[in-house]
Amino acid sequence: MAYELFSPWPMVSKAGDLAAGSILPIHPTCRTCDHKKCRAFHGNASTNLNVLKCPKGLNCFAHKDDKETVVFIGLGDPSRVDLPRSFSRHREYVVAPDIVRQWILRTTHAIDHAHLVMTEDTERAIQGLHNIQPAVNMVLRAAERPINMHAGSTFEQRLDASTQAERDLYYAANLLTWMIDIQHDLVRPETILHGERSSTPIYEMVDRFVRSFRLLAGPHKRIRLEGQSYRRPRCFDSVATLLFIILHNAIKYSIENQEIVIRVNDPGNYVEVSIESYGPAIRKEELDLVFTAGARGRHAREFTTEGSGRGLYVAHMIAQKHGTYIECTPPHHTVDYDGIPCGTNTFAVRLY
């Protein structure tokens, strides 16, 4: 299971076997490939990041900790030569953008699924998060490069000028970054105490989350963003974790073909972000319980086995640190879906 955390594509164990995860299948390229070079590749002993180009055009590189070697397949060359050139020419991609995007989404998904593993062995989880960082940095930079090729005086203008595929790739890479952030906060919640308050463009942040989450949610869960705010309340960095967790929960605990509505209201002296999703109903007697560590709503447990009950607990801690609270409103009426009462749950937070 620890492998699955960082190996959305097949990885190579010490025995040299391709290991397909229970959640994530083998890379389609590797499924038909009989080349064993990558499987035996453990990298150079003097460094923990090594690169090998596979005959099918995928790159692999190895990460080692004191216990295992994990080999990633399906990533570009971190030497900064291979990827930018291929991206800039837009001719032959060493790694096609859709594969990279898939890699990112799968990694994100895998990281999300690994809460329990990580909380069991915190030190190793932290080391694991640290080990994957060079790969994530590389993915981020690779996703930014094609955008920088476009005309525009600022990065935002170039982002607007880029193609849909490039934007998707960029937002997917952003999602991966945030997912790593969240894991740090979930594994060791005291990290949310770091830093000072700074002016934070809440609407801009929510907008970026929404764009990224649309990729994760897929075509059957529509996310709508309403309202506008130019206010920049003075918040800690961890406010991103708070909003991310509530939004992520809305996607995780919502049924398909129902809309998730995010509203950003600015009545004058604060910014309010509220998230409405249709899913397993939170019962009135559970309103406080869902914010305690390790607790999950009864219907949420029936809906999915995923989740460790730490997300809302950490979000609640962050809200308290900001001198505010998360307001949870249960549905007024429910309808049974597969025997689970579902309705519109609303989470709202005000930032001053």
Partner 1 sequence: MWPFKKRTIASLPHKRLDMAKLKQTTSIVVIDDDPNAFPEVSTFRAEGYNITEWRKVESLSQLESAAFDIIVLDVTGVAGKWGPKDGLEILRLLKDANPRQYIIAFSGQRSVHQLEEFWKLADAQMKKPVTVSDCKRKLDDAIEELANIEHYWVKIRERLQSCGVSEKKLAQVEDQIVRQVELGDTSPGKIRTLIASCVENEKVQNLAVNLAVKLITAGAAAL
237 makes contact with partner 1 (CB under 8 A): yes
Distance of closest approach, residue 68 Cβ to partner 1, in angstroms: 20
The span from the CA of 306 to the CA of 289, in Å, is: 18
Our CB check for partner 1 shows the closer of 184 and 321 to be 184
Distance of closest approach, residue 106 Cβ to partner 1, in angstroms: 17
191 makes contact with partner 1 (CB under 8 A): yes
Q: How many residues belong to the site for partner 1 (CB under 8 A)? A: 39
From candidates 163, 199, 257, 304, binder to partner 1 by CB under 8 A: 199
Distance of closest approach, residue 129 Cβ to partner 1, in angstroms: 8
The span from the CA of 78 to the CA of 97, in Å, is: 16
Residue 203: closest CA among 229, 164, 239: 229
Our CB check for partner 1 shows the closer of 176 and 262 to be 176
Our CB check for partner 1 shows the closer of 135 and 342 to be 135
The span from the CA of 253 to the CA of 305, in Å, is: 11
Q: Is 223 left (phi over 0), alpha (psi -120 to 50) or beta?
A: beta
Site for partner 1 in 239-268 (CB under 8 A): none
Distance of closest approach, residue 194 Cβ to partner 1, in angstroms: 5
The span from the CA of 212 to the CA of 169, in Å, is: 9
Residue 259: closest CA among 218, 222, 209: 222
Our CB check for partner 1 shows the closer of 154 and 305 to be 154
Helix (H, G, I), strand (E, B) or coil at 250: helix
17 makes contact with partner 1 (CB under 8 A): no
Given the rule CB under 8 A, which of 39-47, 50-58, 60-68, 126-134 is the region that contacts partner 1?
Answer: 126-134
Site map 135..174 versus partner 1, x via CB under 8 A? -xxx-xx--xx--x----xxxx----------------xx
From candidates 56, 150, 208, 263, binder to partner 1 by CB under 8 A: 208
Given the rule CB under 8 A, which of 15-23, 187-195, 263-271, 310-318 is the region that contacts partner 1?
Answer: 187-195
The span from the CA of 201 to the CA of 157, in Å, is: 18
Distance of closest approach, residue 108 Cβ to partner 1, in angstroms: 13
Q: How many other C-beta atoms are found inside a 10 Å radius of the C-beta of residue 95? A: 21
Q: How many other C-beta atoms are found inside a 10 Å radius of the C-beta of residue 65? A: 14
Residue 264: closest CA among 281, 249, 246, 238: 246
Q: How many other C-beta atoms are found inside a 10 Å radius of the C-beta of residue 164? A: 7
Our CB check for partner 1 shows the closer of 137 and 304 to be 137
The span from the CA of 226 to the CA of 274, in Å, is: 10
201 makes contact with partner 1 (CB under 8 A): yes
The span from the CA of 106 to the CA of 83, in Å, is: 20
Site map 47..76 versus partner 1, x via CB under 8 A? ------------------------------
From candidates 8, 43, 74, 78, binder to partner 1 by CB under 8 A: 78
85 makes contact with partner 1 (CB under 8 A): no
C-beta separation of 225 from 210 below 8 A: yes
- 130-150 b/e (C-beta count within 10 Å ≥ 16 → b): ebbeebbebbbbbbbbbbeee
Our CB check for partner 1 shows the closer of 7 and 238 to be 238
Residue located via tokens 């190996």: 7
**Which are the contacts of 267, defined by CB distance < 8 A and separation ≥ 6?**
none
Site for partner 1 in 313-332 (CB under 8 A): none
How many residues are there in the chain? 352
Which residue ranges make up the site for partner 1 (CB under 8 A)? 78, 80, 126, 129-130, 133-134, 136-138, 140-141, 144-145, 148, 153-156, 173-174, 176-177, 180-181, 184, 187-188, 191, 194-196, 198-201, 204, 208, 237
